[in-house]
Chains A and B, each alone.
Chain A
Amino acid sequence: MTGPGTWLARHLQAALGASGRLARAPLATLFTIAVIGLALALPLGLKLFVDNARAATGDFANAVDLSIYFRLGTPIEKVRQLAERARSRPGVASVKVIPADTALAEFRKYSGFGAALDAITDNPLPHVLGIRPRAGADSTAELAKLKDYFASWPEVELVQMDIEWVHRFNAILEVLRRALAVAAVVLAFGVLAVVGNTIRLEIQNRRAEIEVTKLVGGSNAFVRRPFLYTGALYGLLGAMLALAIVFGATALLAPAVADLAAAYGSRFTLLGPGQDDTLRLLGGGALLGWIGAWGAAARHLRAIEPQA
């Protein structure tokens, strides 16, 4: 008598019934969804902030590069020769030669001091080698050894390593990431509580129906099913609202961020939620709603037994 088709039809019916009931009380539904949406929008927004901060600051957030500044007047041929020597050094992944002319051209282009630079006849900038340490050879001790090695060359004026700054920046990002995790967990519990309470009220309102259903042989699973769908639907709709909020906020902020980036000579554009984030939020929202409803149903449905 029961086949997979019937099973599917029952679940479809429960899902449709749940959506119908939500639609019949639009105001109450809207409030519940708004609360869930705000609770989910917050961690998503925070995650986007961290992602964007990392994207905006680019590679140097992770890689520790050394900049080798040569004494003014060092011929570029000598610099290229030393670059070759640096390349053969173990622990070095790549070496980039930045001649003084190139550096000046870039500085002129991006700094906004073009007019002031025109007043200077000689190029005040030195030749520079950008050294990227090999992955695995970038511990503090090894970097210090590398730095000492380059500093010992007589042509070198200064070896700069922005390791402190990189550490601090990474630490800030790490704090934000943890804050994000904590906020996500706390707000997930908030969603569970909201859905659970809403479902509890719904169960109370439909007490007579539940009693009669059990009376004619409805199992706990059968009685529970529509409430689980209702919960999942709340979560899903809340997640959709959260996405709408975050996409809206991204769209509002994007022009201002683009202006800011342009002022720093960057082509960085604000990233919205990616496909992965979107799917994860929708799935997570629905799952939270389902779990919240399950908790409420498990507690309150058992207590309702038919009375003749």
Chain B
Amino acid sequence: MIRFERVAKRYPNGREAISGVSFEVPRGEMVFLTGRSGAGKSTVLKLIALLERPTRGVVTVNGRSTGALPARKIPAFRREIGVVFQDHKLLVDRPVFDNVALPLVVADTPLREIDKRVRAALDQVGLLGKERLLPLELSIGEQQRVGIARAVITKPAVLIADEPTGNLDPELALEVMNVFRRFQEVGTTVMVATHDMHLVREFGKREIVLESGHVRDARDVHVPTIGAVAP
């Protein structure tokens, strides 16, 4: 589902964020991407969401190599990936409903279906009834869950999250992480970048550790549920 083959990314300023990174996340698995700040976690996620293209190597997501994808096909590619950001990137001048509906709106989904699915997604993250509120009227944890609802509303095959619990207290963080686990349980491939080692241990999922741009090892905290583990 997500495969990195000897991937390197060098930014225009010359900094090489990652190099020689290889790993594979099979369909329906949930993995944690860990490592210190600056180890390259964000770069890996950007490469998956096609916010960046690899300098060397091959990134394959949903069976498609991102390096060769023409620019006009990027929007359709992104619609199949749900992304959750640490700063949640919500539109603060739009109500919760509009924020969550955005991925469906850009995909020309009929209005009736949008209404139904937005409610379903908000229900899944426990925010039903808050559709008309503005993001800033919600708590930080609730804002983060709006971001998750937006990421999953298209029922993406791949869900990635960049430090989704970074601003949350442990209780809220656990709650948010449980939301991710529920999506994994219904077949979504989930990758969560985090430095919250306590949570990682508690969840017992596979961990990919980045250390100054390289994968240290892909040790299994827990036996993966489905599929083989790549070297």
Contact = CB atoms under 8 A, between A and B. Distances in A.
Contacts of B108: 1-2, 6-7, 10
A111 B97 CA distance: 79
Majority DSSP secondary structure for residues of A touching B:
helix
B106 interface: yes
A213 to B, nearest CB: 6
A209 B51 CA distance: 16
Given A308-B45, A308-B49, A216 B103 contact: yes
A206 to B, nearest CB: 10
Contacts of A7: 108
A33 B48 CA distance: 45
A298 to B, nearest CB: 14
B36 interface: no
A263 interface: no
Contacts of B72: 219-220
A5 B150 CA distance: 24
Contacts of A6: 108-111
B102 A213 contact: yes
A218 B101 CA distance: 12
B69 interface: no
B85 A5 contact: no
Given A305-B51, A308-B85, A217 B75 contact: yes
Nearest to A5: B110
A212 B78 contact: no
B152 to A, nearest CB: 11
A20 interface: no
B107 A217 contact: yes
A114 interface: no
Interface string A265-308: 00000000000000000000000000000000000000001111
A147 interface: no
Interface residues of B, number: 29
Nearest to A211: B89
Interface string A163-187: 0000000000000000000000000
B73 to A, nearest CB: 10
Contacts of B29: none
Contacts, number: 72
A12 to B, nearest CB: 11
Contacts of B113: 1
A216 B51 contact: no
A11 to B, nearest CB: 11
B42 interface: yes
Nearest to A219: B75
B76 A212 contact: no
A9 B91 CA distance: 22
Given A209-B91, A306-B51, A216 B109 contact: no
Contact of B103 (A5, A9, A217): A217
Contacts of B21: none
Nearest to B42: A308
Interface in A6-40: 6-7, 9-10
23 contacts: A1-B107, A1-B108, A2-B108, A5-B110, A6-B109, A6-B111, A212-B89, A212-B102, A213-B106, A214-B78, A215-B78, A216-B79, A216-B102, A216-B150, A218-B75, A218-B102, A218-B106, A222-B75, A222-B106, A308-B45, A308-B46, A308-B51, A308-B83
Given A10-B108, A208-B91, 11 more contacts: A5-B110, A9-B111, A212-B89, A216-B102, A216-B103, A216-B106, A217-B75, A217-B78, A219-B75, A220-B72, A308-B83
Interface of A: 1-3, 5-7, 9-10, 208-209, 211-220, 222, 305-308
Interface of B: 42, 45-46, 49, 51, 72, 75-79, 83, 85, 89-91, 102-103, 105-111, 113, 150, 154, 162
